Chains A and B, each alone.
Chain A
Amino acid sequence: MLGNKHLHIDPADQLSDWLGKAMRSASRGTIAIDFEGKPAARITADNGSIAVNLLEPAAFKISEDETGLFDKLKTASELASRLSDNSVTLSFLRKDKEVVRLGKGAHPTLSKLVTRSDDVQMSSVREFRKLKKDLKAG
């Protein structure tokens, strides 16, 4: 539901709940994604921790929409809360460097001032800016 600034995840929403549980069920292992023969991403699961490493972030460009970065962070914090409920930690990396961590294993410091959530950790503002630039559709 896109309303009042950001995309909300309803507390009773089963889809996000299922997502959290499904991610929990992949206990360990790796999925490598190659795009046109080049490594684009690597997803690693390790007992409740899922790391999504975007090795070629430009391959995942997203189109502009009506929500801004701050709004997206608010949505992320709602998803992160669901992940925490399912004891899942989801982290995004850009070229092996951690950008943001959501869910149970997140330990926010300054980023809590922005997201007002205990479940979103901004690991590197510098890498976050780079990733934002990479993902911006040209």
Chain B
Amino acid sequence: MKTVFVRPERCIGCRHCEVACAIEHAENKNLFDAISEDPVSKPRIHVEVGIHYLTFPNRCRHCDPAPCMQVCPTEALYRDTETGSVAVDYAKCIGCAVCAMACPFGIIQFDKVFQLDTSREVNAKCDNCIERQKEGLIPACVEACKTGALEFGDANELIRVSRKDFTMRMIKSEGTDVEVPKIPANIQAYRTIMKEIAKTCE
């Protein structure tokens, strides 16, 4: 099973993933044309602040079975068998938002899409960049992520890396070589400062 694995501790809130996603889902897949399209393409990944200025890039997990698919009354949501992604047939979507009620991650958004001539807003969630994947490319958000907060690959392999790191920390002292890089001291210091700043407004 391939997935986009999120390492939230490495997200610095730059929103490169959001921009890359919006471009990828625009009619003209380049920045300068995409910003003047009507309807304008919106990101399907959402980098939001939790507390203390710490961020998490939230996107569709492409569940299987997918609660959104199970409740969709018009079968607008379907599975792309080749990539295992949950995709939307925009023409079939009636905008009832039942899928959003069923989604455990709150990542479904309703927007106008260039594929439809009407002004209806439809489920315009992450499609896992099916077209890119079929061309052998990784999802646009992962490609845009420069900090390794988003990784694309075999889920078990990505989990194995985290598991092995934990094992290494258990049997050796902290600071040993690990595959998931440790957070550098300067970034730790910065985050501590931002946490203190956030606390003045609590």
Chains A and B form a bound pair: no
